Structure 1
Amino acid sequence: MADPTDRSDADLLTRTASAVVEATATTDGPRVGRDLDAVLFDAGGVIVVPDPLTIGPALAPFGATSDLATLIRAHYVAIRAHAGSASAGEDVWLDYLRAHVGACGVPAEQADAGLAALVRVFGHRTWRFPLVETVVAMERLREHGTPLGVVSNAVGQVEDLLRHTSCCQVGPGGGVEIDVLVDSGVVGVEKPDPAVFAPAVAVMERLGVDRGRIGYVGDSLRYDVAGARAAGLVPLLLDPHDLHADLDVGPGAHRISSVHDLLPVGERPEQHPEQAPQPEGD
């Protein structure tokens, strides 16, 4: 391991941090402390994504890639297709699944076979691959004193899932401590109905947060942005691959590339690489 007191390394870290601060200081999106006092999160597509270690092998016989980053990105390609779909009813979700298959690298001539293979493994149990970048950002927000919560369309499994993957939980535990978790399968109403946000908003208001200063991070225009706007929250569309740049996200909504974008200027981890946790052993 390099000696942290090495002058050249220290100078490089300082220059890198200064450049990052300068680049991010002009970012125009909302930030905690300036525009937001609390943040709520969707689970699927924000904290966890469909498990690429399940989907990749299922689609491999039909020409899918084995590249992990591509398999993770496939969800975001698919949710962009979902946003732009002209289909009605359940066919909108079918457009998501077809786009997911294609984004995994399955060629058009194998698309139907790939779709059949995907739906054999795709379900609420598939949404279990943690996005560590989001979890680290949540941890940073919590350290900043920001009230946090989760509001998810699900079937009653989200609380156990997020706890068991050490992502987050209400109260102390192995993940990031949050203040409230709402699972649509438990409360009986789902996004985009604004009523699903009511329990979380009530908790935030008890903590002294005005609903107009609560951000909601989601990856879906149809469910998350529309639902958050209807609930009077600040909609934040997570778009890590800039796939929604051509779409109007609507009044009051913002696109972010990472949950780290919400941190106050100067508090993003890449601005202080020298403060990164040290390895537990050499």
Structure 2
Amino acid sequence: MGQITTVLLDVGGILLLPTTSVWQAAVAHAGIEPTGEQLRRAHYAATAAMDASGDVDLDLYRRVVAQRCGVTDEFTAQVLAELDEHFTGEAWLQRAPQAKEGIERLLAAGYRVGIVSNSVGTVAEMLVTAGVCQAGAGDLVPVEVVIDSAVVGVRKPDPAIFGFALDHMGVTAAETAYLGDTARADVDGARLAGLRPIHFDPYGDCPDPAGDHEHLQRFDRLSELLTG
């Protein structure tokens, strides 16, 4: 890959995480009170399980999170029914660790930054609500563009979704890296688009063969990886 000038970021798992209170309310039916860190750990384990299955299987995702939180078979159906009702695309308002700091460090290092997310049409508002960033100038950390799949009508891993950000920013795929937390949607999609794919994998859960793609464990260390 050539010199990277631009970084595009996923949102779920990178900048935002599932809202802790939504999951806590659901698993409370099983008499369990998971901490925010336990839920964060469960999120990445469940994401890796979907990657291994080769599909975006939200039922599998929810089952794995519930299991990792300690929900037994006796309570699984009740917990999943609660999640079906309340765990929607907008239940992602928990700011991820290093979210603001990671973007700030990229900007300070001279990288241009944009967002490309599979979402429900409100990801820009969600990022503002969570106090992470906004497109353009404002009270929060600025990024150049926020691409929401529901708005542009294309979802990762379709490589076409990255073109909206590249065209808006006036940059090429060869000079752009993409950071996401899934191997199938993010790494595969970015690779097809000609971007440098980097898998955010804080616990080493990736099911793909070693050496298939780059990994990162802390978002605020991305600039060091890009220049290392």
User: Pairwise mapping of residues 49-60 of structure 1 onto structure 2 (< 5 A)?
Assistant: 49-60=17-28
What secondary structure does 1:236 align onto?
Answer: strand
Q: What RMSD over aligned residues (CA atoms) do the two structures have, in Å? A: 2.2
Q: Which has the larger radius of gyration?
A: 1
Matched, 1:223 2:178: no
- Contact 1:101–1:118 (CA under 8 A) maintained in structure 2: no
Partner of 1:12 in structure 2?
A: none
Per-residue Cα deviation, 1:170-218 (whole angstroms, up to 9, x for no partner):
11112211111101111111111111111111133x2xx4421211111
Letter in 1 for 2:148: D
Cα distance in structure 2, aligned partners of 1:100 and 1:131: 17
- Per the TM alignment, residue 263 of structure 1 is displaced from its structure 2 partner at its CA by 1.9
User: What displacement does 1:93 show?
Assistant: 2.4
SS at structure 2 position matched to 1:125: coil
State percent identity of aligned pairs: 35
Question: Is 1:248 paired with 2:215?
Answer: no
Q: TM-score, normalised by structure 1?
A: 0.74
Match of 1:211 in 2: 173
Aligned to 1:274: none
Structure 1 stretches of 4+ with a deviation exceeding 6 A read: none
| 2:127–2:134 contact (8 Å) kept in structure 1 | yes
Q: Aligned pair count?
A: 226
**Paired position in structure 2 for 1:117:** 82
CA contact (8 A) 2:118 2:150 kept: yes
1:30-89 Cα offsets, whole Å, 9 max, x none, are: 9xxx95221111111110011112211221121333322101222111101111126x6x
Structure 2, unmatched stretches of 5+, are none
CA separation in 2, counterparts of 1:211 and 1:135? 24
Name whichever of 186-195 and 137-146 sits farther off: 137-146
Could you tell me which residue of structure 2 aligns to residue 47 of structure 1? 15
2:17 aligned partner, one-letter code: V
The answer to whether 1:190 aligns with 2:155 is yes
Aligned partner (choices 82, 85, 99) of residue 50 of structure 2: 82
Indicate conservation of the 8 Å contact 1:148/1:178, yes or no: yes
SS in 1 for 2:178: strand
d(CA) in 2 for partners of 1:48, 1:124? 12
Higher relative contact order (CA 8 A, sep 6+): 2
Whether 2:33 is the aligned partner of 1:65: answer yes
Cα deviations by residue, 1:3-38 (Å, 9 ceiling, x for unpaired): xxxxxxxxxxxxxxxxxxxxxxxxxxx9xxx95221
TM-score normalised by L of structure 2: 0.91
SS in 2 for 1:255: strand
Q: 1:264 maps to which residue?
A: 224
User: What's the counterpart of residue 165 of structure 2?
Assistant: 200
- Cα distance in 1 for residues equivalent to 2:159 and 2:92: 23
Q: Do 1:51 and 1:128's aligned partners in 2 also have CA atoms closer than 8 Å?
A: yes
Structure 1 unmatched runs, 5+: 1-29, 268-282
In 1, the alpha carbon distance for the partners of 2:4 and 2:42 equals 30
> SS at 1:126's partner residue?
coil
Are 2:90 and 2:126, in contact at CA under 8 Å, matched by a contact in 1? Answer: no
Q: Distance in 2 between matches of 1:229 and 1:150?
A: 16
Indicate the residue corresponding to 2:64 in structure 1.
99
Shift, 1:238, TM fit: 0.5
